[in-house]
Structure 1
């Protein structure tokens, strides 16, 4: 019987690949059908002929044909052989079209929002990564985490708690977070005011989903947290940068922006401003909240590292005395481990209910096991004990980092000793010096966030935010010496 289909499978079947040969045959036949090389009603070689041409066992081809018939790609024509199903539509492609190689990467044939040219997070790669204020995960006792997970799993299993559940988060963790915020930070909250999230960035995006309609303005400082700006922009917000000085956000600029725009939110990091580490002064906090009342916008207060303050007692969050005007975002990542992705939002009950609806759309629920393990660590007191220990370690590293800065880059760098947080904001004697450092970083084996990644408008002061907590003293000296080597 004539077989008009010219066999090309032999060029695409490789027994050395990890994929079973019969599956390679299936995929090759489907590709030829989709490309137009095999048209509806075309006959395929017999299983014996195809097996001989491919150099495989006939049973392998029979298995592939049977699977293709079951899927509807082929049909059996009895004694006449096996043919491409006549029910398949014409692919509308020329039969001469090139067929992609099996291992060739697929390319999208549809519209989608492409990733930006510069990633928001530093990609993994060679060299020493200088983060922007991460904790040292090596300090958290892994046996504590193991015990907490085991206890949480046992307790949840006994009460059939490993099911789909409340999108606001595990009740035990919401209770623990509410008690922590009430007793330590003065927030007038209960568990009903808490929504557990997958970290502070997830909190920011969830808040943006509630607050922003396309065309709304979001006010940010001229130096700020780039992923937050990207989240607002992704929701269709108009980003409005305002000034920043040694006392925090410039409120005259905020008021002027409110008179020119339909402002949905103002995003601030008042405890330790990101990236400059300055604290927002009390009088400015009160005026910002008054502007929120006057113009009807929400204050998104990102309190990403409240636990780490070394010079004095931290100021109370704005959400403690104006809970109706603030969406308060926090995280346990700095105390636990960033990889656990445990954050939270505190807000009025009706806002939490709306957030739960958004969580239901994008996630359905959080990570029940991890959230209950985090509650175990809080309720047992282990988290508090760990916090006291690492605060002492980070305080020592902060002092040592400042000494190493003075010894290696003192003639090129100026900085204010950060009162809290886990990073320094470094300003350079000239932009040319900063340009040389950024250009030579890769060659010196260093990776860090670009100075321009913090800028929301041209002309903002450039600098580098360098975390000190995740590096021991030896690693920190080596990193700073590498920075110095670029200049030398």
Structure 2
């Protein structure tokens, strides 16, 4: 005698979702078994009865049953019907995970621990937003046909050379050679291809560097205002974050020395060319003192030179990596040179460090993107990158000046700022923190998204401000944005 069907399956199985109905029914039955509402050996209704209950074709139920029998969830018992397999352990409905009414078959909760995301995510919120960046290139300025030709040539060349397969995780040999050549000519780094590791953006490079340097409990020094994703990467590797001072001449090296005498310092993260977020440049005497402290206390300097090419006054100082390569791990990016979506960064370091980074890449990626890397190498080798930088540097200089004029006309009563000598962003300091609070509270209501003023602070109580990129905005767009920010900030 068949056991009575004591579940209201119509309420248990959601067949209004996308996808084959038989799979939705099969998933619903699996969940009932996992929850303990269908026990091992319990008989299911006939395919005809269940089809009538769920208002579907009988063939759909037959297919669902056959799928579950094949997977081992159900067993056919000849003329007696279909039942839950007796080889399954009994479930426990009282400990079953809660599923929302809109469940797609995947629980909203888990029965295992994991590291959750922080309250403030490092991403743009969902929905339609106008994103104010923190200083990126205008992707509209790079000719799409040049990029397309470079990709086509790269793909064809890689195919002819049988290079569309797994390869060296350090990156494309051609691109590594081209980047090394660029760093020698333009930034004074005496490096070769053996010193270069290609990454998918400079942030990946910083994270991989943290992986090979840091052990849980090691101290990493950062300026009190700094780049939040880098801090997050260090913390993810178990670092103890120690903040040091910052002023108009860059990092406070006396503070660095005090921190080194108090903590076991493994590394310091700096952006000396255009400090992130304040845009100030580290003075030569401080660079030399920082390098001496690195030698004395045996820590690494992670130098993120994210926008070296964009300077509007005097010739920029050479990177610290150019005159102390044994103490500096140098991170750079081609995304700022070309288009943000071209996810190519690089690390310049000693060959053994490059090998260690490549091993970490092999664990998470296996290899980079051969076609994209070869396309970037083509653009470097042909001189298109150099020509593009020369052209856009003039455009960005004009946009910087226009942005400053618009700041003066729209927000002079609300903010103080200094005209950046280089880089692609302004650091805005508010005269009244209440105005900044109003701006951050109201901006989402009009669809504006930007990094929180809290995101730059490496410790509680640090002064707040906003870093707003100007390079990706035309003069008209910038004026419109600043007018919107002013309206949000005003009482």
Does TM-score exceed 0.5, indicating one fold? yes
1:62 aligns with 2:62: yes
Give 1:465 shift.
Answer: 0.9
CA deviations on 1:265-298 (whole Å, 9 max, x unpaired) are 0100000000110111111111101100000000
Question: 1:19 is matched with which residue?
Answer: 19
CA distance in structure 1 between the partners assigned to 2:372 and 2:475 by the alignment: 32
> 1:15-414 alignment to 2 at 5 Å?
16-94=16-94, 102-103=103-104, 106-414=108-416
Q: Secondary structure at the match of 1:338?
A: coil
Task: Confirm or deny: 8 A CA contact 1:76 1:82 kept in the other structure.
Answer: yes
Q: Which consecutive unaligned segments of at least 5 residues does structure 2 have?
A: none
Residues 1:487 and 2:490 aligned together: yes
Of 469-478 and 454-463, more deviation after overlay is shown by 454-463
| Runs of at least 5 residues in structure 1 that lack an aligned partner in the other structure | none
Asked if structure 2 preserves the Cα contact closer than 8 Å seen for 1:9 and 1:25, the reply is no
- Residue 390 of structure 1 aligns to a residue in which SS? helix
Q: Is the 8 A contact 1:218 1:267 kept in 2?
A: yes
Q: Which residue of 1 aligns with 2:459?
A: 457
Q: Does the CA-based 8 Å contact 1:178-1:189 persist in structure 2?
A: yes
**Conserved 8 A contact 2:425-2:469:** yes
Partner Cα distance (1:21, 1:444) in 2: 41
Query: Is the 8 Å Cα contact of residues 240 and 257 (structure 1) preserved in structure 2?
Result: yes
Q: Check the 8 A contact 1:242/1:253 in 2, yes or no.
A: yes
Distance 1:11 1:336, change over 3 A: same
Paired residues, what number? 488
Q: Which moved more, 1:323-332 or 1:165-174?
A: 165-174
Q: CA deviation at 1:410?
A: 1.8
Distance 1:406 1:237, change over 3 A: same
Helix, strand or coil: the match of 1:340? coil
**Cα gap change, 1:124 to 1:73, in 2 (>3 Å):** closer
Q: Does the 8 Å CA contact 1:36/1:95 hold for their aligned counterparts?
A: no
- After superposition, the C-alpha distances for 1:153-192 in whole angstroms (9 at most, x for unaligned) are 1111112211111111111111111111111111111111
Instruction: Indicate if the aligned counterparts of 2:15 and 2:24 stay in contact, CA closer than 8 A.
Output: no
Matches of 1:99 and 1:250 in 2, distance apart? 53
Q: Contact 1:31 / 1:99 at 8 angstroms: preserved in 2?
A: no
Aligned partners of 1:92, 1:12: CA distance in 2, in Å?
16
CA distance in 2, matches of 1:18, 1:439: 38
- Is the Cα contact below 8 Å between 1:37 and 1:95 reproduced in 2? no
Contact 1:14 1:21 in 2 (8 A): no
Contact 1:48–1:58 (CA under 8 A) maintained in structure 2: yes
Greater Cα shift, 73-82 or 239-248: 73-82
SS, match of residue 341 in structure 2: helix
Aligned counterparts of 2:201 and 2:320: Cα–Cα separation in 1: 20
TM-score (norm 2): 0.95
Q: Which moved more, 1:403-412 or 1:91-100?
A: 91-100
Q: Given the superposition, is the C-alpha separation of residues 71 and 129 from structure 1 closer, same or farther in structure 2, using an over 3 Å criterion?
A: same
TM-score, reference length from structure 1: 0.95
RMSD: 1.9
Superposition pairs for residues 428-447 of structure 1, below 5 Å?
428-443=430-445, 445-447=447-449
In structure 1, distance between residues paired with 2:357 and 2:97: 49
